[in-house]
Amino acid sequence: MAVTPVRLNALTIINGAFDLIQVKTPGEAVDAADSADALRRLNQMISGWATLPLTFPFIDREVFAVTANQGTYTIGPGGNFDTIRPTSLTGAGLLLNWASTNPVEIPRPIITDDAYQAIQIKDLTSSQWTQVYFNADYSGGLATVFLWPVPNTTVNKCVLYRGDQIQGFANLTTEYDYPPGYADALEYNLAARLLTPYSIKDPQVRADVKEGALTYLRMIKTDNFKASDLALDAAFTNDRRGGFNILTGTGS
């Protein structure tokens, strides 16, 4: 049987969370002030999840045009790369001759802060950049992507891969699609956040809610786990790219 996404609104999650901490009976409405407070806490929780590994339900691939002789691009709503602001990148590529019938995507490494700082000629230009540096700054709500060498043509495009975090709720009633398992994770983890502000003292209620919060968050993290290729230091192979062929026992 196929598993389909779940449509949720914030009020459904909030009502469920209040039921779990037993400050109301099932079916009883939450008043407007408590609903607004719970919505704020729910969105704060979802925002915090963006910093946790394995809370991303899937990886999104996006392609962006580049500007000749421009190596620095803001990324986020309204930025040079106009999209959701990522907290990190999981991969990058150069889409070679993107206007051709069969454009080729060449993987490009995402380098560390130290590696970018070590580049001595940061304004060096080339038709094909070889490295991508991501700086998760938050000026104006935007992060920054650096391409090096600086592209001197628009014939190629930049490909970025990012974990696509679930988004917060704009209001109490708008419905959103969520992957399987997220309804319980959101409801129980919001309930756990409400235990202290609503002075829940019952030890069994507190224990049940906390256990459920951990269990369901662990479940979605397990579901989001993805296998990855094993990295190998280039110093151990004859291949400058660090590849290794398990069939031949040599650099690939």
Tens of pLDDT, residues 152-186: 999 999 999 987 777 789 999 999 888 888 899 99
Distance between CA atoms of 184 and 216, rounded to whole angstroms?
Answer: 6
Nearest to 9 by CA among 183, 165, 166, 164: 183
Distance between CA atoms of 4 and 49, rounded to whole angstroms?
Answer: 22
Is 194 contained in some domain?
yes
Is 132 contained in some domain?
yes
Tens of pLDDT, residues 67-82: 999 999 999 999 999 9
pLDDT(239) > 80: no
DSSP code for 90:
S
Global pTM? 0.67
Same domain, 160 and 170: no
Tens of pLDDT, residues 184-202: 999 999 999 999 999 999 9
CATH of the domain at 219: 1.10.3230.20
Same domain, 160 and 174: no
Same domain, 77 and 198: no
Please count the structural domains in the chain: 2
Distance between CA atoms of 3 and 180, rounded to whole angstroms?
Answer: 7
Is 236 contained in some domain?
no
Same domain, 204 and 83: no
Residue 171 φ/ψ, nearest 5 degrees: -160, -170
- Domain residues for 146? 58-164
Confirm if 151 and 66 have CB atoms less than 8 A apart: yes
Specify the pairing of strand 125-126 against strand 150-151.
parallel
Q: Which helix (H) or strand (E) holds 65?
A: strand 58-65
